[in-house]
Amino acid sequence: MMDTGSPKLLRTQYETLFRVSQVLSRSLDFQHTLREVLRSLEITGHLTRAMVSVVDPDAGDLTVHAVHGLDAETFEPVRYQPGEGLLGVLLEGKRTIAIARLGDDPRFLNRLGLYDKDLPFIAVPIQVGGALQGVLAVQPDQPDDGLLEERVHFVEMVANLIGQSVRLSLEVETERKALAEERDTLRRTVRQKHGFDNLVGHSAPMRRIFDQIRLVSKWPTTVLIRGETGTGKELIANAIHYNSPRARGPYVRLNCASLPETLLETELFGHEKGAFTGAVASRKGRFEMADGGTLFLDEIGEISPAFQAKLLRVLQEGELERVGAGRTVKVDVRLIAATHRDLEAAVEAGDFREDLYYRLNVMPILPPPLRERMEDLPEIARHLLDRLGGVQSRPLTLTGAAQRRLAQHHWPGNIRELENCLERAAVMSLDGDIDAELIRVDKPRATSRNPVAVAPAPTLKISADGDGNDDAIDPGAEQSERQRVVAALEQAGWVQARAARLLGMTPRQIAYRIQTLNIEVRQI
C-alpha cells in the first residue's frame, strides 16, 4: 500500500505546499492568512478540521486562534493548560503527536466538538527560533491507510512554513508598535512645542487670545491673524492646528511674500508635467499637501489682486486646478492666514478684493503688541532665555536692573526685537548673568510695517512751586526710572491715568512699573 499510495500522496503534498507558500507570501494579515492556509490544506491536501493554536506568552497556555470547519461567528476561543488534553501534552513536551485513530487515545478531550474519533489525528509544534509559538493540528479525511508517517512529515513542513510567517508577522508587528510609539512621541513633542506652552503671558489681552484659540480650534473655521510683525502670529497658527481635531493631519506653511506671483501659483496649486519649461514631472501644491489638515498662509496681504481671485475660488468651492491641468481637484483644507497690513485700507484703495477679505476675516484674532502687555515681559524674557540657554548649553539669568532696563523700552519690533536683544546680551555675557549694561536696544522709530511707534517716555522734574502744572515736564532731566514715575504720580495727584499721560505711557504700563519698582501708592 505504501508503494501504490506514496507517488499520488507526494504529488498532492507538493501541490499543497506550493499553494500554502503562495498564501503565506500574499498578505501580512496573519489571521486572514491562517484561515486561507487551513482552507488550502483541506482543498488540496485532504487534511480536514485544521486548527492553529498560539502560545500566550503571559499565561503560558495555548489559545485556539484559527479553526477550519467551525462557524467563525459562533466559535468561542478555547484554552489549554500544559498537560491538558492532547494539545496540552504537546505544549508540555514540544514534540509531534500522531494517532492512527483519535478515539483510541484517552487524552483526547474533544472540547471543540470538531474532530472525528474514527480518523487519524496529527498535531505538530510551530516553532520560531527554537521557541514554541503554537500548534498546528489536522485530521486526514480518510481512515489510516498506513501513510501516517508521511503525512506527519508533510504537516511538519507546513508548520515550519507557518512558523516563518509567524516570525515575519511578529517582526512586522514589533516594528509597527515601535513606529507607532515613535509617532506618538513625536506628536506629543510637536504639540508641546507648538501648543499653548509656547505662547507666554498671563495678561488680560493674552488671556483673551488663549480663549479665542480654544474656541476656534474646535471647528474648521477660517482664521485671520492680524498684528504687527514680531507679535507671534505663526505661534498662534501653530497652537490652533495642534489643538484642533486636524492635529493628526498635515500642517503646511507658506510665506506668500517670499515668492513672486508666477511661482506662488504653482507652489499653492501644483502643476502638471510639461505645464511650463522645467516642469519635468507633476507636482502637488500646498493645498493638496494640506488635504485633511491645515494650511497656514503668512503675509496674505502681499498677494496681487489677480492671484486673489484664484485663491478666492479655492476657498469658496474647495477645489482647484493644477497649472497646466484640465481637471479640478477637491481638497479639504482648514485655512489660517496672517497679515500685518491694514486690509480695510487696502480694500478701500482697491489693492485687496473685498469678497476675499470677507472670506478670510471669518474669525479674526489680534495678538497685542508687546508694549500693550508689558506685565508679561518678565515671563517672556525668562522663556526666551531658557530657550537661548538650551542652545548655549548653560543657564542664563536676568538681573533686576536688566529687567528694569527692558521695561523702559517700548519694543516697536515686539517679541522678535526682544529675542534679538536678549540673544545679543547672552552672547556678551561671560558667566550667563545678564546685567543692565549688556542690554542694548535700538531707538524706536516709525515704520511702514509697525505704524504705531511710541516715543520714549519723557523724564519729569517737579517744579519749584509743586502745583502739578503739566508744563513742569523737563525732558532733559537726568533721573532714575523710579524717580521719574514717582514724580509723575505726585504731579498727577497719584492718579495713575494722568501720570501715565505725563510719561507718555498707557495706564497698564504705569501700573506695571509701579509694581516692578516697588512704589507704594498713596491715597489722596
User: Are 208 and 159 found together in one domain?
Assistant: no
Please identify, among 313, 341, 365, the residue that sits at the C-terminal boundary of a domain: 365
- Taking the C-alpha atoms of residue 199 and residue 195, their distance in angstroms, rounded to an integer, is 7
Please report which confidence band the pLDDT of residue 43 belongs to, taking 50, 70 and 90 as the band edges. Answer: confident
Higher per-residue confidence, 481 vs 459: 481
Say whether pLDDT at 279 is over 80: no
Q: Phi/psi at 271 (nearest 5 deg)?
A: -150, 160
Most confident of 260-274, 453-467, 506-520: 260-274
Taking only the tens place, the pLDDT of each residue in 364-377 is 999 999 999 999 99
Domains: count for the chain: 4
Residue 358 three-state SS: helix
Residue 416 three-state SS: helix
Say whether pLDDT at 516 is over 80: no
Please report which confidence band the pLDDT of residue 233 belongs to, taking 50, 70 and 90 as the band edges. Answer: very high
Residue 31 lies inside a defined structural domain of this protein:
yes
What mean pLDDT do residues 95-99 have?
Answer: 90
- The predicted model scores a pTM of 0.57
Say whether pLDDT at 386 is over 60: yes
Element of type H or E holding 365: strand 363-365
User: Are 344 and 387 found together in one domain?
Assistant: no
User: Are 331 and 386 found together in one domain?
Assistant: no
- Taking the C-alpha atoms of residue 50 and residue 66, their distance in angstroms, rounded to an integer, is 8
* Residue range(s) defining the domain that contains residue 204: 196-365
User: Are 29 and 86 found together in one domain?
Assistant: yes
Q: Please report how the helices 2-26 and 30-43 are oriented relative to each other, as an axis angle in degrees rounded to 10.
A: 160
Residue 513 lies inside a defined structural domain of this protein:
yes
Q: Phi/psi at 375 (nearest 5 deg)?
A: -65, -20
> 3-state DSSP helix/strand/coil percent for the chain, to nearest 5?
50, 15, 40
Q: What is the mean pLDDT of the chain?
A: 82
Taking only the tens place, the pLDDT of each residue in 482-497 is 888 888 888 888 888 8
User: Are 106 and 230 found together in one domain?
Assistant: no
Residue 510 lies inside a defined structural domain of this protein:
yes
| Closest C-alpha among 201, 173, 64, 180 to residue 123 | 64
Q: What is the CATH number of the domain that holds 507?
A: 1.10.10.60
User: Are 18 and 87 found together in one domain?
Assistant: yes
CB of 485 closer than 8 Å to CB of 470: no
Q: What is the CATH number of the domain that holds 375?
A: 1.10.8.60
Higher per-residue confidence, 265 vs 58: 265
Label the pairing between strands 47-55 and 131-140.
antiparallel
- Taking the C-alpha atoms of residue 468 and residue 488, their distance in angstroms, rounded to an integer, is 9
Please state the length of the chain. Answer: 524
User: Are 86 and 161 found together in one domain?
Assistant: yes
- Burial of residue 143 (number of CB atoms within 10 Å: 0-12, 13-18, 19+): exposed
User: Are 515 and 410 found together in one domain?
Assistant: no
User: Are 82 and 137 found together in one domain?
Assistant: yes
User: Are 131 and 243 found together in one domain?
Assistant: no
